[in-house]
Amino acid sequence: MTILATEGLTRRFPRVTALDGLTVTVGPGVTGLVGANGAGKSTLIKILLGLLAPSAGGARVLGMDVTTQGAEIRRVVGYMPEHDCLPPDLSATEFTVHMGQMSGLPRTAARERAADVLRHVGLYEERYRAMGGYSTGMKQRVKLAQALVHDPRLILLDEPTNGLDPKGRDEMLGLIRRIGTEFGISVLVTSHLLGELERVCDHVIVIDAGRLLRSSSIAEFTQTTQTVAVEVEEGRDVLAARLTELGETAVPQGRALLVDIRAPETFDTLRDAVCDLDLCLIRVEQGRRRIEDVFREPADV
């Protein structure tokens, strides 16, 4: 099933070409859209919402054409903008109910849905207070709630982790993952940080200067090599030397060692090496190659 697809999508502004012949297909689940600032992510979202006409090419969202069926698309798609968008003198409840009605829900249904989604995004008693006094984390949650209130089939999240502290970032990423899996709503999430998308996405699209660099599933990126991260209290280098001696590949990374898994026996070798050297083992963790590493390679490999 295709959630959205673009075909030679191009958008030129008087000074810049924001999108340049972009052809991608996105399936269900969580999809990351990665690119530097100005890579064309926000322009793509505006086109997908039917708010901006493409200069050339076309796009379909949930089977609907963006140039002719914009209003129908916007009824079943949720959008969380990157910028602040909350009126400070309303409470989160009132605002979310209102936004639900704006998406076509009758008032009573909007009330029920608003209460539901605010609970899901983790806003409780504070949702009755005016939003002017909210922290960035709470504001991001309300922005997410208003995108979910009408139970869309797809939500477009523009930089949802912007301005969050590490804990808030983790919680937001966890929520996005839940939306994609538990809620069964497809997600397109943009970020300029690959690392955080790695944790939540099923599929990653990388664009640069409006052109497609790569589009592949996370599994494809990370299954190419399997590694374990091994951390010992002291003697990281001794262990590395021993493993190399035994024919394994071990690369130091920070305080840990990244050991390539050639075969299941590698785990035995590793265990024995740690025992023989009498080292204090802190952790052994299934390590994945980070997608950053994949993209660090030339794109045309």
Per CB under 8 A, residues contacting other proteins are 49, 51, 71-72, 74-75, 77, 79, 81, 83-90, 94, 98-99, 101-107, 109, 113, 116, 120, 130, 146, 150-151, 182-184
What's the helix, strand, coil split of the chain in %, to 5? Answer: 40, 30, 35
* Closer by beta carbon to other proteins, 148 or else 205: 148
Please state the closest distance from residue 69 (CB atom) to other proteins, in A.
11
* Closer by beta carbon to other proteins, 102 or else 277: 102
5: Cα separation from own chain's centroid: 18
Task: Report DSSP state, residue 103.
Answer: T
* Closer by beta carbon to other proteins, 107 or else 283: 107
Please state the closest distance from residue 155 (CB atom) to other proteins, in A.
11
* Closer by beta carbon to other proteins, 6 or else 42: 42
Distances (CA, A) of 282 to 190, 248, 254, 261, 265: 35, 20, 14, 19, 21
* Closer by beta carbon to other proteins, 183 or else 295: 183
DSSP string spanning 50-85? TSS--SEEEEEETTEETTT-HHHHHHHEEEE-SS--
* Closer by beta carbon to other proteins, 79 or else 221: 79
User: In a 10 Å sphere around its CB, with 0-12 CB exposed, 13-18 middle and 19+ buried, how is residue 189 labelled?
Assistant: buried
Distances (CA, A) of 111 to 94, 146, 154, 274: 9, 12, 21, 59
Select from 59, 123, 61, 117 the least CA-distant residue to 91: 123
